[in-house]
Amino acid sequence: MSKTILVTGGAGFIGTHTCIKLIESGFDVLVLDNFSNSSPESLKRAESITGHSIPFIEGDINDAALLDEIFAQHAIDVVIHFAGLKSVGESVQQPLRYYHNNVSGTLVLCDAMQRAGVKNLVFSSSATVYGDPASLPIGEDFPTSAINPYGRSKLMIEELLADLYRADPEWNIALLRYFNPVGAHPSGLIGEDPAGIPNNLMPYIAQVAVGRRAHLTVFGGDYPTPDGTGVRDYIHVMDLAAGHVQALLWLEHRRGIKAFNLGTGQGYSVLDMLKAFEQACGKSLPYQLAERRPGDVASCYADPQLAAKELNWRAELDVQAMCADAWRWQSENPDGY
């Protein structure tokens, strides 16, 4: 019998791509999303890609009664927990909203899981928990720290999940620390659709390419990197989605809590990404150099060996595929969903 996965935040950017990989891998999915940063349209499109219906419940992870009802009515085997707010700047302005949504939401979810006896969890963490790394590439054993409420919410959740496991070793938890997810499904039907002005590099570049923004502002040209601009580990969202399937398989055989880096292990600068995108869209894209963005580190890329060894997972898609797929999505859906 196929396993049923409750996917919180399953209508979002990473969630929809992961639902597709889960369905293609033979899992049944049930999405719980309050659509605070997404819409049911993304799920409709994921349905047309897979040819399967994707059942969803519109609701909040902070709604304990709703969660009890979901666990009572569906035989859930594992929860993949994407639901969360993710804008660093917004988290500085509205810390209580971020802690309430991300941290309290996870507590309410875990409480309901415990009541229902569902103790298998995959959590969306982030490379932001490494703060400013002392060396590169970054291993999972590096010290963790956070400098903004968003990052702190991820760290707090990792720590509360570790406490939960210490108190009850029946819990089985994979903490997936994503590096920089970009790209889109190769169909061009689904992709990243940020509300307002994009904070992140790739959606910003894509909007310059499609004519919605005049130019890219490059934050900092004086970092100690080969071309002076910030270096990151960009990972194709389809590879990231595949990492979640591998984490589910890992949970079947292993007990405990473990953190895994999901990155490619390769660093690319802002200007590298801009050039790769220019090739993908066949246009030259204007940019202006500006001051560093507060809180940014110079370089950040993963040591992905633990995931290779234990999850049997490696990123396979290169920067050309990331840009080509992001451009297909953006050019065919210039205003998003």
Catalytic residue from among 130, 150, 178, 234? 150
Q: Which does 265 bind (CB under 5 to 8 A by kind): ligand NAD, ligand UDP, none?
A: none
Between CA 108 and CA 60 the distance in angstroms is 10
Q: Does 50 bind ligand UDP (CB under 6 A)?
A: no
The count of other CB atoms within 10 Å of the CB of residue 81 is: 26
Q: Which does 37 bind (CB under 5 to 8 A by kind): ligand NAD, ligand UDP, none?
A: ligand NAD
Residues 43-82 that bind ligand NAD (CB under 6 A): 60-62, 82
Q: Which does 218 bind (CB under 5 to 8 A by kind): ligand NAD, ligand UDP, none?
A: ligand UDP
Q: Which of 217, 305, 331, 333 binds ligand UDP (CB under 6 A)?
A: 217
Comparing every residue's Cβ against ligand UDP, the nearest one is 230
**Rg of the chain over all Cα atoms, to the nearest angstrom:** 19
Q: Does 36 bind ligand NAD (CB under 6 A)?
A: yes
Q: Which does 296 bind (CB under 5 to 8 A by kind): ligand NAD, ligand UDP, none?
A: ligand UDP
Between CA 8 and CA 18 the distance in angstroms is 11
Between CA 30 and CA 24 the distance in angstroms is 14
Classified as helix, coil or strand, 307 is: helix
Q: Which does 190 bind (CB under 5 to 8 A by kind): ligand UDP, ligand NAD, none?
A: none
The phi and psi torsions of 130 (rounded to 5 degrees) equal: -85, -5
Residues 283-322 that bind ligand UDP (CB under 6 A): 293, 296
Q: How far is the CB of 133 from ligand UDP (least distance, A)?
A: 12
Between CA 240 and CA 302 the distance in angstroms is 13
150 is catalytic: yes
The phi and psi torsions of 218 (rounded to 5 degrees) equal: -90, 120
Between CA 177 and CA 261 the distance in angstroms is 5
In the complex with ligand NAD, the residue whose CB is nearer, 13 or 327, is 13
Q: How far apart are the first and last CA of the chain?
A: 34
Structure token pair of residue 75: 């035989």
User: Which residues lie closer than 8 Å to 285 by C-beta, 6 or more apart?
Assistant: 205, 208, 209, 215, 216, 274, 277, 278
Q: How far is the CB of 106 from ligand UDP (least distance, A)?
A: 20
Q: Does 250 bind ligand NAD (CB under 6 A)?
A: no
Q: Give me the residues that bind ligand NAD (CB under 6 A), please.
A: 8-9, 11-15, 32-38, 60-62, 82-86, 101, 105, 124, 126, 178, 181
Binding residues for ligand UDP (CB under 6 A):
180, 199-201, 204, 216-219, 230, 232, 270, 293, 296
